[in-house]
Amino acid sequence: MKNKTKNTDKGIKAFHTVYVIGIVFAGMKLIEYLKWTFQLIRKWNLPEEPFFSKVNLTSINNQMSITAYLIFAICYIIVFGFIFLGLYQLNKTTKLFAEKITFQKEVGSAFKKAGKLFLAFAFGTLIIDIAVLAWTLGSSKVIDLLSTELIVFLILGYLMFFLADIFEEGITLKEENELTI
């Protein structure tokens, strides 16, 4: 029994390490987005760095206004915040596991919320990229907007829903087991 607890603690510590790394990398990317956006606002001219959409804007002859860039940038930053909220929900499940709260509604609920947030990020960035593409009348195909980041967060979002279902089934089995004499 002691070995099992030791392994669980190692898993929780490992997840916490991955969580901190995820927060740091997401934070660095968000700072990069904010820096670009503040440069745009301050100079009211496009910064040297390219816009962070997956749409290749350098090959587009149609010029997009600074205001449109600003609106799309703010939308990206808001949608990017869903990663932090999703990671927070995952960290919440880890804390519940550390407290030996496994098959409780809070665990399934936290996984489901994390899944919704990761999917909101994935679909949100895709929708914004499609809007940028439509706004600029670009010739890129929507399929070109599919990135590794998008696919990873789609998989992660649906994985969270899968885990939520497993834990909800576990709750049902636990309740049925407690009623059995």
Quote the mean pLDDT of the chain: 83
Predicted pLDDT at 1: 47
In angstroms, rounded to a whole number, what is the distance separating the alpha carbons of residues 46 and 65?
10
Whether the per-residue pLDDT at 94 is higher than 90: the answer is no
Q: Which of 87, 115, 105, 99 is nearest to 15 (CA)?
A: 87
Is pTM beyond 0.85? Reply is no
Cα 101 to Cα 16, 92, 125: the distances in Å are 17, 11, 34
Q: Which of 122, 121, 137 is nearest to 68 (CA)?
A: 137
Whether the per-residue pLDDT at 34 is higher than 60: the answer is yes
In angstroms, rounded to a whole number, what is the distance separating the alpha carbons of residues 110 and 145?
29
| pLDDT confidence tier of residue 154, bands split at 50, 70 and 90 | very high
